[in-house]
C-alpha cells in the first residue's frame, strides 16, 4: 500500500519540511529554497503517478475508504501537472512580490488534499480531503497585501464556509438513510427509490458543490476572488480546486446516487444552460482581463455540466463521463496557462484592463503568443485542445438524442459568443498600441507557459491518446 501512496507521502513530507525551514533561514533565501523543494517534490510525485498510470494499477488500499483506480490516477495527473506548472511559474512571482516560503507550503498542502480526495470512496474521507485542500486556498487567495487581496480572501472564505456547510448537511442526510458514509453502501441502501430525504440531500449537495465549481447562480464569489488574488494563485484556483469539486460530484452522484439519476441529471441540465449562458454573456462586457477570464471559467463549468446532464440518457455513459474528464483536464491547462500569462505580463504592464495589453505582442512576444494559444483553445478553435474536449461533449449530447441535442446546440452557440471576447484580447495585443519597448519576460513563468502551450497543441493535434485516457478513466467509475 505504501508504494501506491508514495506521491502523497512525498508531498506531505516536503510540506512539513518547508514548515521547519521557516525558522532556519531568512525570508528571501527561505522562499527561494522552498520553491525549488516544492518543484522537486511535485515533479517527483508526478513521475510516480505517471509510472502507476502506465502500469494500469487499480487497488483498494483501504476497503470502502481509499481506492486507487484509473479515475483517481487521471485526477492525480491533472492536479500534479497544474501544481508543477504553477510552482514553476511562481518562482519568479514570489521573488518579485516577496511573498515568502509559506506560499509554497500551502500549495503543497492543497495539492495533498486533492490527491487524497481523488482516491476517497467514503463521504467522510472525501469531505475531509476537500476541506484540507480548500482551507489553504483561503489564505492563498488573500496573499496580496492590499484591499483587493483582503476582499478576495474574505469572500472566498465566507462562500467556502457556506458551501461546506451545505455539503455536510447533504452528507448527513445520506448517512441517516444508509447508516454508512461508504459510497457503495449508500447506493445499495437507496436503490432506485427517491424519497423526500434523498431528494433533499441531492439538492443540498448540488448547491454546496455548485458554489465550489462556481455554477450559476452560485458563482458570485469567483470574479472578485479571481481578480483580487495573485495571478499565480488564480491559475491554481481556476485550474485545480474547481476540478476537485467536479471530482467529488462525479464520485458521489455516479457511484452513490445512480438510482436517482433522472432527478439529479435534470438539475445539472438546468445549471448547465444557466452557467454557460450567463458566464459568456457577462464576460462580453468585462474590461478587466482577470474578471473576463473568471466569467469565462464560469462558462466553461457549464460545458462540463452538459456532460453531467447526458448521464441520465441511455447513450454511451462512458463517452459522456470521458468528455467531462477531458474538458476538465484541458481547461485546467489552458485556463491555468492564461492566468500565468497574465502574471507574466504583470512584470511589464501596470494595469489589468484589457486595454493595458495593447502592444504586448511586440513587448513580450512569447507571453502574448502563448496567451493567444490558450484563448483560441478556450474558444474551441480546431487544432487546439479545447476544440477536442468540446467536440467530445457535443458528440455525447447528440448521441443521447432528444432534448440533449438542444444542450449541444447551446454549447456551440455559447462557444461562438465566447470567441468575441477572446479575439478582442488577441486584437488588442497585436493590432493596438504605438511604439513599445521590448520587455524582459520572466524566465520561469515563460517556461511554464511554453510547457502548457505544448500540452494544449499536442492534445489538439494528436487527440487520440488523451481521449482514450479520459474514456478509460471514466469507465472505472461504472465498474464496482
* Stronger pLDDT, 335 or 30, i.e. the higher one: 335
Q: How many CB atoms lie within 10 A of CB 13?
A: 13
pLDDT of residue 193: 64
Longest dimension (CA), the chain: 69
pLDDT of residue 55: 44
Asked if residue 27 is part of any domain, the answer here is yes
Q: Which of 332, 330, 337 is nearest to 368 (CA)?
A: 337
Q: Which three cell numbers stand for residue 354?
A: 484589457
Tracing cell 449537495 back to the chain, one arrives at 205
pLDDT at 2 over 80: no
Q: Residue 454 sits in which domain range?
A: 6-478
Domains: count for the chain: 1
Q: Are 291 and 228 in contact (CB under 8 A)?
A: no
pLDDT of residue 57: 59
Question: What whole-number distance in Å separates Cα of residue 105 and Cα of residue 355?
Answer: 35
Asked if residue 414 is part of any domain, the answer here is yes
pLDDT of residue 53: 63
Asked if residue 302 is part of any domain, the answer here is yes
pLDDT at 460 over 80: yes
Asked if residue 1 is part of any domain, the answer here is no
pLDDT at 98 over 80: no
Asked if residue 15 is part of any domain, the answer here is yes
How high does pLDDT run on average in the chain? Answer: 88
Question: What whole-number distance in Å separates Cα of residue 458 and Cα of residue 464?
Answer: 10
Q: What is the pTM of this model?
A: 0.92
* Angle ∠(350,351,356) on CA atoms, nearest 5: 105
> How confident is the model over 66-95, as a mean pLDDT?
90
Half-sphere exposure of 75 (CA within 13 A, CB side): 31
> How confident is the model over 152-160, as a mean pLDDT?
87
Contacts of 306 (CB under 8 A, 6+ apart): 269, 272, 276, 393, 397, 407, 408, 410, 411
pLDDT tens per residue, range 209-256:
999 999 999 888 889 899 888 888 999 998 888 899 999 999 999 888
pLDDT tens per residue, range 395-427:
999 988 888 899 999 999 999 999 999 999 999
Asked if residue 125 is part of any domain, the answer here is yes
**pLDDT-above-90 percentage for the chain:** 53
Question: What whole-number distance in Å separates Cα of residue 110 and Cα of residue 44?
Answer: 17
Q: How confident is the model at residue 20 (pLDDT cuts 50, 70, 90)?
A: confident
Q: Are 321 and 390 in contact (CB under 8 A)?
A: no
Query: What values do phi and psi take at 66, rounded to 5?
Result: -125, 125
pLDDT at 100 over 50: yes
Q: How many CB atoms lie within 10 A of CB 299?
A: 25
Q: Are 254 and 193 in contact (CB under 8 A)?
A: no
> How confident is the model over 443-471, as a mean pLDDT?
94
Query: What values do phi and psi take at 195, rounded to 5?
Result: -70, 170
Asked if residue 207 is part of any domain, the answer here is yes
Amino acid at each position: 500500500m505504501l508504494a501506491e501512496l508514495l506521491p502523497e507521502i512525498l508531498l506531505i513530507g516536503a510540506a512539513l519540511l518547508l514548515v521547519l525551514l521557516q525558522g532556519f533561514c531568512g525570508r528571501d533565501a527561505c522562499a527561494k529554497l522552498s520553491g525549488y523543494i516544492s518543484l522537486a517534490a511535485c515533479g517527483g510525485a508526478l513521475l510516480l503517478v505517471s509510472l502507476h498510470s502506465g502500469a494500469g494499477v487499480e487497488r483498494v488500499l483501504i476497503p470502502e475508504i481509499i481506492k486507487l483506480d484509473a479515475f483517481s490516477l487521471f485526477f492525480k495527473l491533472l492536479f500534479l501537472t497544474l501544481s508543477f506548472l504553477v510552482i514553476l511559474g511562481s518562482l519568479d512571482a514570489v521573488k518579485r512580490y516577496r511573498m515568502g516560503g509559506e506560499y509554497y507550503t500551502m500549495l503543497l498542502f492543497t495539492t495533498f488534499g486533492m490527491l487524497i480526495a481523488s482516491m476517497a470512496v467514503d463521504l467522510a474521507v472525501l469531505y475531509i480531503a476537500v476541506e484540507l485542500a480548500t482551507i489553504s486556498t483561503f489564505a492563498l487567495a488573500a496573499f496580496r497585501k492590499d484591499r483587493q487581496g483582503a476582499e478576495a480572501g474574505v469572500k472566498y472564505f465566507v462562500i467556502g464556509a457556506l458551501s461546506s456547510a451545505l455539503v455536510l448537511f447533504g452528507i448527513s442526510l445520506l448517512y441517516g438513510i444508509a447508516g454508512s458514509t461508504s459510497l457503495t453502501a449508500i447506493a445499495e441502501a437507496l436503490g432506485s427509490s427517491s424519497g423526500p430525504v434523498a431528494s433533499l440531500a441531492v439538492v443540498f449537495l448540488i448547491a454546496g458543490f455548485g458554489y465550489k465549481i462556481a455554477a450559476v447562480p452560485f458563482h458570485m464569489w469567483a470574479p472578485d476572488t479571481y481578480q483580487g488574488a495573485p495571478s499565480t494563485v488564480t491559475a491554481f484556483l481556476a485550474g485545480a480546486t474547481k476540478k476537485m469539486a467536479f471530482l467529488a460530484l462525479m464520485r458521489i452522484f455516479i457511484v452513490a446516487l445512480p438510482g436517482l439519476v433522472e432527478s439529479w441529471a435534470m438539475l445539472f441540465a438546468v445549471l448547465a444552460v444557466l452557467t454557460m449562458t450567463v458566464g459568456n454573456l457577462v464576460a462580453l462586457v468585462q474590461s478587466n482581463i482577470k474578471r473576463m477570464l473568471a466569467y469565462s471559467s464560469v462558462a466553461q463549468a457549464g460545458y462540463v455540466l452538459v456532460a453531467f446532464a447526458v448521464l441520465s440518457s441511455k447513450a454511451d455513459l462512458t463517452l459522456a463521463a470521458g468528455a467531462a474528464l477531458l474538458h476538465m483536464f484541458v481547461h485546467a491547462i489552458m485556463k491555468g496557462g492564461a492566468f500565468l500569462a497574465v502574471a507574466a505580463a504583470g512584470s511589464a504592464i501596470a494595469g489589468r484592463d484589457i486595454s493595458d495589453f495593447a502592444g504586448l505582442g511586440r513587448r513580450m512576444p512569447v507571453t502574448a503568443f502563448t496567451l493567444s494559444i490558450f484563448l483560441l483553445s478556450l474558444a474551441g478553435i480546431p487544432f487546439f485542445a479545447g476544440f477536442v474536449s468540446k467536440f467530445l461533449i457535443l458528440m455525447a449530447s447528440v448521441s443521447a438524442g432528444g432534448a440533449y441535442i438542444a444542450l449541444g446546440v447551446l454549447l456551440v452557440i455559447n462557444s461562438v459568443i465566447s470567441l468575441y471576447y477572446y479575439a478582442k484580447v488577441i486584437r488588442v495585443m497585436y493590432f493596438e498600441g504605438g511604439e513599445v519597448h521590448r520587455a524582459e519576460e520572466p524566465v520561469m513563468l515563460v517556461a511554464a507557459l511554453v510547457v502548457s502551450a505544448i500540452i494544449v497543441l499536442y492534445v489538439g493535434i494528436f487527440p487520440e491518446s488523451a481521449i482514450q485516457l479520459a474514456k478509460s478513466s471514466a469507465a472505472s467509475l461504472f465498474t464496482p
